[in-house]
Structure formats: structure tokens, C-alpha cells
Chain A
Amino acid sequence: MKRVLSGNEAIARGAWEAGALVAAAYPGTPSTEILEELSRFPHIYCEWSTNEKVAVDVAVGAAYAGRRAIACMKHVGLNVAADSFFYASFTGAEAGLVVVSADDPAMHSSQNEQDNRRFAQFTRVPCLEPSDSQECKDFTVAAFELSEKFDTPVLLRTTTRTNHSSTPVELGERAEATPKREKFPRNPPKYVMIPAHARKRHPVVEQRLLDIAAWAEKAPINRIEWRDRAVGVVTAGIAYEYVREVLPTASVLKIGMVHPLPEQLVRTFAAGVKRLIVAEELDPVIEEHIRLLGIPCEGKSIFPLCGEFDPTVVRQAAHAAGLPVDRAPLAAANLELPELPARPPVLCAGCPHRGVFQLLSKKKVPVTGDIGCYTLGLLPPLSAIHTCGCMGAGIGVAHGAAKAGIGERMVAVIGDSTFYHTGLPALANVAYNKANVLTIILDNRITAMTGHQQNPGTGHTLQQQPTEVIELEPLVRALGIHHVATVDAYDVEGLETAYKELMAHDAPAVLVARRECALLPEIRKRWVPLEVVEEKCTGCGICFRIGCPAILKSDEVDAKSGKPLALIDGDLCTGCEVCAQLCPHDAILTRDQVRVAQEHQPASCATPTSEGN
């Protein structure tokens, strides 16, 4: 049976069909849906781990215990997990161990662009790279087999375009899982990486790589497609699809295992074509290897190193290099577009982070940010974030600036899930080394950015089991931080009062700004759109300056100032009341006032609220 599956759904399907029994991940675009999908299958344990390093350790432990296991993350997650990935390469395991790295060329949702095929070279681990959803499934199964055949972790490297493209996939049955073991292995020379043991493992790892390379020469995962021999293209992953589209007559060496490369196969292919081209997104990983073999080839001299390929980019580059393209690139149409207002992603209407950023913007303090929806606090009109590097970085950066003696008081903001991920050790450092940093934990009770995943603060696991809530305040106090306050993130005045109190102490302080994400299904049911009283609104514009997408400029203008009045979009407004609290003219009705006003109106036609699709 064929079904259209996204690359992520297909990887999940592959892991399930391969009989994997343990899966661990931390959410991160473009990898998140792998575990969400896998968690719906029967007979497999799936978890959101607290971070990617923990997820890899969990998968390693399961594989040591003799069960197939998979850990999934976005590219930068593998940076967090690198330490674990390296030792796992040295130890191998007792059953298949697969790590998925979903790279994000073009940084659709990431802080940097990196090519994690480099991690495969760095750790001496084989790396498979699929081109479509069918291969996402097949390569996941192959990765488990390869892992067991050669006693190595296997890196399955994808890119956003394969993760989030959907193509037809032939579904298969689930393989029988390896039988449960009663005893954990006692094999210190293999699993206890003290120097004496690790020194013996290193040559084993190097030999393993040679063995895999020899296997790769004959493995069907790499294949030559002979067509016209004037041009031959070595390619992998999504780039293969663009090459087939744009250079339909060219011979192709399709690399399914990008590390280690099948050197003899490359030599055979190179010898069979007049002009050898390498088409790969991001780094010249394959190109460099081919050059090391002493084979002349062209790659990054033709195709861009930065950003993502698409048919237009590949066709233009190939055409300019004189390659046999299907047709010349289209001349760009001169559409004489008017100036189009940018539509950047924004903090949603009702976002509980808005009140905090309104306060920080007003206070004009330096704010070190972190990774999550709240990074959007950097955008105008709030413009309240001044650094954002990676998960958990903000608190440490604030601490460092404070220790450098900067003349301003540093504020760090971090979301609940990010705090559990890597914020906790950084806050322990602030407490231990005594910096007067104010850390604001933006606790919206969910991992929101990636689409509402559970985390240690929500009381539920990925597979919807009730569990302990790791309460933030006792946790923070246990670190030795004495100045701790919790405020409803919608309470504008309460936030400012708590902020002032905490800033009065020259010591580490934590403000927990708590309110559920307004988009959670149970919260949506409680939305009450607010209304503007036109007679009171003066068009002063204060409510426009909190960047709420539900607050629009009305066509009506104030008679005195000539400025447009405020208008609230009833479809978007959740009724958080932050704007109503800030309005100096009481021109925005609160939820209670809206309800009263509606009771006094004649019954109008009821608006259906049920979901249509």
C-alpha cells in the first residue's frame, strides 16, 4: 500500500518497521514530527528527553541493553549531543543505534547553517542521506541493519526539504523486535571508556570505517545511473532530485551513504564521464573527498555553498557553467511589484510573553535571549532582545557581561522548556558564582515554538502518561537563589512591581512569568475577544506599540488628532487584556465588560465556534 508521507513520517515508519523499541528526542524544527509520529505506533517507547545529549544517551543505553533505538534532533541538537555521539562511536552497542540529524539549509527555523555530514567524518560513523520519503523509510531500516553489522552508531542525515516534503511511500510490516535481555552487558573493555580501554578501541573504530567503505562499494545504496557521458554528476540527498530535474540527460552517481565514500565506485564513474561535477548542498564534503583521491572535479565553483538549493538556483548555476540543462533559466518577469510590507513571524495575539517584553522595552535594559517563540521579542515595535545564540546561552551570556563589569544590570529571558534543556546548569552557575543577573523564566507551560510538545513542567510525557511536574520555584531556590517571584504574565502592573523588587537586590534573582500559551486547545475555548470603545479612543497609539496582530488601525480617525483609532480583530483577539491595562483612556473593554455589554445587546445571530475542518 502506498501513502503520501512526509520525510519525518517516513523515518518514524522506518524505525517502527525496523522493530525499534526505544526512541528519544528533543523537539526542534525540522525534526520534531519524527517522534510525534512514532509515539502513535504501538509497542515502542518514545520520550521527549530534556535535551539532545540526554536523548542520545537514552538511545545508547537502550542499544547497550540489546534493543534497537533511535535518537532524533535538529542539526544544532547534535552539537549539544556531540559528547555522547563521540563515545558511542568508540563503544558501539549490542543492537542497532541510529541518530537522526535534520539539517536546516537556508535556516528556515535555526540560528546557524551547518553541515552535519562533518560530524560523521569527525566521529568515524557512517552517514546515510535520503532524497525522498521512500528513501527516508528505507534508509532508516538500512541504518539499523548497518549499525548491527558493523557495531557502530549510524547517522541518518536529512535536510529540511526532505523532512518536510511528502512523497508516496510503500508501507511494510514491522520486523520482530530483538528479544528482551535479562542482563545488562558487563564488558568494560568495550563499554568503559577509560584511556586504557579507549586507546584499544580507536584502532577498532578506524578499521571499522575501512570495512564499511569496502561494503559501500557494492551496496545498492550507492548507484551509478549511466546516461549521456559528457557530464557526470555526483550527488546526494535532495540535491539528487534537482539534478534529475534540471540535468535529465547527465549521468549520475547517486550517493546514499555519504560517509565513508565508495572510492572505487567514484573512480569508475569519474573515468566514465568527460566532465565530473559534484552537486551538494552546504559544505563541499563529497567534493573534498574526491579531490583527495586526486580526481579533478567541479562543485562549489558552480553551486552555492550558502543556503538551500531549489530548481531555479540549480538551473541557473548549471546553465552558467555550460552544463546540459533541460532548458535555459527563465528571464525574471518584471512585475513592478508595489512595496510590500514585510510579514515576519510575530508573537501571536494573546502571547503571554508580550507583557514581559513590553516591560523590558520600557525599562530599556539589556536582555540576553534564548531559543523559542520569545526570540520574536526582538522584533519592532517591542525590540527587547539583544542577543540570541543557542539553546541555554542567554543566562551564561548575561552572567559573563555582568562579570565583565558592564554598567547596566543584565536580564536574561528563557522559556520553560529551554530552561530544563540547558538553562538549568547556567542558572546554577549564576547562583554559584554570584552574578546579579535577573533571569526571567517565560513559563507558558508547554514547548510552544515547535508546536506544543510536553516538557518536564507540563505533568505529561510524550505518550500522554501523567508524571511529576518539576516545579520551577523550589528548583530555583534549591540552587541558592533567594530572590524569586512568580507573576501572572498577563498582569502588567504585577510584572513591573515584581521586576522592581527583584532589581532592588544586588544578587541573583529569578522572575517566573507564568501563563499558558494562548494557542493551547483548552485555552482557546476561553478566548473572549475584546472591543474598542470608539468614543473613548483618541488614537494615541500606545496599544499599537505592543505589536499585537489583533490590534489594527481603524478607518475611523480621532476628530482632534486626526490619528486612526484602534480596532480589535475579533477573530484573532484572545482577551489577554494586556492592551486594556495599558490603555490610558480605558477605551478597551475587559473580558468582563465585553460580557456585560453583550448581555445588554439584542440577541444577534450566533457565531458558530465548532471546527469546520
Chain B
Amino acid sequence: MSERTAFSFVLVGVGGQGTLLASNILAEVGLAAGYDVKKSEVHGMAQRGGSVASHVRWDSREVHSPLVGMGEADILLSFEKMEALRFAAFLRRGGTAVVNDQAIVPVTVSSGSSVYPGDEHLDRVFGALGATVVLVPGERLAQEAGTVKAANVVLLGAVSRLLPLPEETWWECLAQRVPKKFLELNRVAFASGRAAVHLPAQTAV
């Protein structure tokens, strides 16, 4: 039997940010690369601007649980900075947090007395886990590619840099999900996310 390889991802953000599409593509990429895959997400009330999380697992053997256990994610992909902190405990020691450099202020801050946490907590919290933080300016890079709505594709590009798969595998799965007239825009968005990770390839895993 060949050596087992397995990757677990937790994708978090705020309802409406496009985490579901990103987790769909991540599952399809895993399948295309020959892994068994499972993905899990939450719909419904949670989507109304609340915190959302999807789980994706790839395994060269059979995947059983669709959910990633606490402290077991190789990669935490957060579409929003505070949500990265909220779900930090999912990341394994030495894992990688890919964090979109965007703050979405909840109404508990704008209409209440809560305070949005400062950026210094990201380094401290993930540092305590021995984890690497990759901060990606998703909105800015997406805007440069043509539309801010491609931020999720930028973030997938960043994640792709951390995994041992050919870029083509990612791109083929993406291309199937994207309307033809936005292909080029998304290609640029994906490439810019990939280029935004200044780490030796596969540091995460």
C-alpha cells in the first residue's frame, strides 16, 4: 500500500462571502487529484450574515467523517480576520492559516459595545499554535483582477500554493465552475492569490 496522504481544511467566514463555492471547488480538486473527498457545510439561518464554516477532507484512503476534528485542520482558510480567531482551535499545531485581510464589522460592534479585535491577535494566537499565518489582500487583488467578487478565487489561489498538486488541476476544476466570459478575470485572480504566498511551496504540509 502506498503511503497515506491526507489533508483537512476548514473554511470560515461570514454568510454571503462565497465560502460555499470555495469549498465546492476544493472538494472537486481533491477528487480530480485522485483523493477520496468529503465536504460539509451549514445552510439556512446561519447564512444571514452570521459566522459560517465548511469542512473539506482529502485522503488517499477512505474518508469517514465529513467533519474535521478540533486541532486537526492542516489549513484554516478564513475569509475574514476575526473569524480566523473564532475558529483558530480547528487548526493543528504547525498548520497554516490563510487569512483574507478583510474585517467585516458585526452589528454587535456597530450597534453595541463590543470591540473588534486588533490584528496583533492573529500573530499571537496562531503563534501559540506554532502555525504560519498567510495574510492575503483578497479584495484588493480581486479588484485588480476586475471585480472584488473574485476574492474567493484569489484565496483559493493562495491555498493552492501550499499543496502538492499541479496548478492545472486547480485551474481545470475552477474553469468548470466559472462563466466563460469571466474565465480570464478568474485566471488572473487565481494567479495573483498564488503569487501572494511568499513561502517555500508545501510549507503547510
The reply to whether chain A is a binding partner of chain B is: yes
Give 1 or 0 for each of A331-364: 1 = CB within 8 Å of chain B CB.
0111111111111111110000000000000000
Specify which chain B residues have a CB less than 8 angstroms from the CB of A30 in the assembled complex. Answer: 43-44
Specify which chain B residues have a CB less than 8 angstroms from the CB of A462 in the assembled complex. Answer: none
Give 1 or 0 for each of B26-49: 1 = CB within 8 Å of chain A CB.
011001000011111111111111
Give 1 or 0 for each of B86-117: 1 = CB within 8 Å of chain A CB.
10110001000000000001111111101111
B189 contacts partner chain A, Cβ-Cβ < 8 Å: yes
Q: Closest residue to A241 on the B side, CB-wise?
A: B64
- CB atoms of B114 and A612 under 8 A apart: no
A117 contacts partner chain B, Cβ-Cβ < 8 Å: no
- CB atoms of A164 and B43 under 8 A apart: yes
B14 contacts partner chain A, Cβ-Cβ < 8 Å: yes
User: A109 is contacted by which of B45, B178, B179 (Cβ under 8 Å)?
Assistant: B45
B2 contacts partner chain A, Cβ-Cβ < 8 Å: no
How far, in Å, is B28 (CB) from chain A's closest CB?
Answer: 6
How far, in Å, is B25 (CB) from chain A's closest CB?
Answer: 9
CA distance A346 to B93 in the complex (A): 34
- CB atoms of B114 and A341 under 8 A apart: yes
When A109-B45, A165-B40 are in contact, do A608 and B147 touch as well, CB less than 8 Å?
Answer: yes
How far, in Å, is B158 (CB) from chain A's closest CB?
Answer: 16
- CB atoms of A310 and B69 under 8 A apart: yes
Q: Closest residue to A160 on the B side, CB-wise?
A: B42
How far, in Å, is A156 (CB) from chain B's closest CB?
Answer: 19
Specify which chain A residues have a CB less than 8 angstroms from the CB of B63 in the assembled complex. Answer: 167
Q: Tell me the residues in window 5-23 of chain B with beta carbons closer than 8 Å to chain A beta carbons.
A: 14-15, 18, 21
User: SS class of chain A's interface: helix, strand, loop or mixed?
Assistant: loop
CA distance A544 to B147 in the complex (A): 29
User: A333 is contacted by which of B24, B112, B129 (Cβ under 8 Å)?
Assistant: B129
CA distance A241 to B69 in the complex (A): 13
- CB atoms of A108 and B117 under 8 A apart: no
- CB atoms of A167 and B38 under 8 A apart: yes
CA distance A4 to B66 in the complex (A): 13
- CB atoms of A310 and B125 under 8 A apart: no
**Size category, A interface:** 35 or more
User: A552 is contacted by which of B86, B105, B142, B148 (Cβ under 8 Å)?
Assistant: B105
Q: Tell me the residues in window 161-175 of chain A with beta carbons closer than 8 Å to chain B beta carbons.
A: 161, 164-168
Give 1 or 0 for each of A27-47: 1 = CB within 8 Å of chain B CB.
001101100000000000000
How far, in Å, is A132 (CB) from chain B's closest CB?
Answer: 7
- CB atoms of B109 and A108 under 8 A apart: no
A231 contacts partner chain B, Cβ-Cβ < 8 Å: no
- CB atoms of A612 and B37 under 8 A apart: no
Q: How many A-B residue pairs have CB under 8 A?
A: 209
A244 contacts partner chain B, Cβ-Cβ < 8 Å: yes
B78 contacts partner chain A, Cβ-Cβ < 8 Å: no
How far, in Å, is A378 (CB) from chain B's closest CB?
Answer: 12
How far, in Å, is B121 (CB) from chain A's closest CB?
Answer: 5
Specify which chain B residues have a CB less than 8 angstroms from the CB of A337 in the assembled complex. Answer: 85-86, 88, 121, 125
User: A343 is contacted by which of B21, B72, B83, B182 (Cβ under 8 Å)?
Assistant: B83
CA distance A311 to B66 in the complex (A): 9
- CB atoms of A449 and B44 under 8 A apart: yes
Q: Closest residue to B45 on the A side, CB-wise?
A: A109
Give 1 or 0 for each of B120-153: 1 = CB within 8 Å of chain A CB.
0100110011000000000000100111111011
How far, in Å, is B178 (CB) from chain A's closest CB?
Answer: 5
Q: Closest residue to B149 on the A side, CB-wise?
A: A612
- CB atoms of B42 and A4 under 8 A apart: no
A330 contacts partner chain B, Cβ-Cβ < 8 Å: yes
Specify which chain A residues have a CB less than 8 angstroms from the CB of B48 in the assembled complex. Answer: 345-348, 373, 376, 449
Q: Tell me the residues in window 196-248 of chain A with beta carbons closer than 8 Å to chain B beta carbons.
A: 238, 241-242, 244-245
Q: Tell me the residues in window 242-268 of chain A with beta carbons closer than 8 Å to chain B beta carbons.
A: 242, 244-245
B70 contacts partner chain A, Cβ-Cβ < 8 Å: yes
When A160-B42, A347-B48, A613-B18 are in contact, do A341 and B116 touch as well, CB less than 8 Å?
Answer: yes
CA distance A105 to B64 in the complex (A): 19
A547 contacts partner chain B, Cβ-Cβ < 8 Å: yes
B164 contacts partner chain A, Cβ-Cβ < 8 Å: no
- CB atoms of A4 and B50 under 8 A apart: no
Q: Tell me the residues in window 159-200 of chain B with beta carbons closer than 8 Å to chain A beta carbons.
A: 177-179, 182, 185-186, 189
How far, in Å, is B87 (CB) from chain A's closest CB?
Answer: 10
When A4-B28, A333-B71, A613-B182 are in contact, do A108 and B42 touch as well, CB less than 8 Å?
Answer: yes
Residue contacts A-B, CB under 8 angstroms, 5 given: A108-B46, A166-B37, A339-B115, A344-B106, A347-B48
Using a CB–CB distance below 8 Å, which chain B residues touch chain A? 14-15, 18, 21, 24, 27-28, 31, 36-51, 63-72, 82-83, 85-86, 88-89, 93, 105-112, 114-117, 121, 124-125, 128-129, 142, 145-150, 152-153, 177-179, 182, 185-186, 189
For the complex of A and B, the 10 pairs showing the least CB-CB separation, nearest first, are: A29-B44, A109-B44, A341-B114, A345-B50, A345-B48, A165-B66, A612-B149, A311-B69, A612-B150, A612-B147
